[in-house]
Amino acid sequence: AQSVTQLDSHVSVSEGTPVLLRCNYSSSYSPSLFWYVQHPNKGLQLLLKYTSAATLVKGINGFEAEFKKSETSFHLTKPSAHMSDAAEYFCVVSDPPRSGGGADGLTFGKGTHLIIQP
Amino acid sequence: ETGVTQTPRHLVMGMTNKKSLKCEQHLGHNAMYWYKQSAKKPLELMFVYNFKEQTENNSVPSRFSPECPNSSHLFLHLHTLQPEDSALYLCASSRRLAGGDRTYNEQFFGPGTRLTVL
């Protein structure tokens, strides 16, 4: 079974300062991990993904995340926040597919609401 | 533009009504999903279809009935809903890709249908 814990329901930072959104996961296998962003009244957009290659993953809009297996963490960071970054962020885990193929749903964290102060 | 469209974007219905949500993906994917997003709860996977075959039903009440006539279209038929079913219903699609020694499950989301049950 897989699960995701987003440690903060709300994070508030000033524009131009670093952003850190924390995520811990639990999986019986070597999972795939994602961060999605959801702006108000919009669908979810993929920010970045970790599959099996480099542990430091770069995404869109200057975001990056580091996979740390020993800590079972996949924290999302950005060096300098922008007002347009205000949104809901979801950490997501996906176990490897079952043998024989087939599609699998994702397991979402509860989300972190990022607030950017001017 | 995510390539996944959902209609209607907003729906208000009474508990005795019958309505349907529609999702269409233009990405050539082979898997489609329904998720429910309620306030203050994580996204919940409802149904998974892979090559038009339902492969997962996450203990969803029978008042929700999915239909997948082809790999590009997905419906969610609603009848005798309850007020607690009010939520944002998100559709997603994916295509299995090989990433090194593992496959991953990147899903593309539609904008959602905001459902209110009176």
pLDDT tens digits, one per residue of A82-118:
999 999 999 998 866 554 444 566 788 999 999 999 9
> Per residue in B87-97, pLDDT tens?
999 999 988 65
Task: Give which of A115, A112, A94 is closest to A21, Cα–Cα.
Answer: A112
Facing residue for A43 by CB, picked from B2, B30, B33: B2
> Per residue in A53-88, pLDDT tens?
788 999 999 999 999 989 999 999 999 999 999 999
Q: How far is B16 from chain A (nearest CA, A)?
A: 27
Candidates B60, B88, B102, partner chain A, best to mutate (most A CBs within 10 A): B102
Omega before B8 within 30 of 0, i.e. cis: yes
> Per residue in B10-19, pLDDT tens?
999 998 889 9
Is the model's pLDDT at B55 over the cut of 90? no
**What confidence score (pLDDT) does residue B101 get?**
40
Query: What is the rounded CA–CA span in Å between residue B55 and residue B67?
Result: 12
Name beta bridge partners: A35.
A48, A91
The mean pLDDT value of chain B amounts to 87
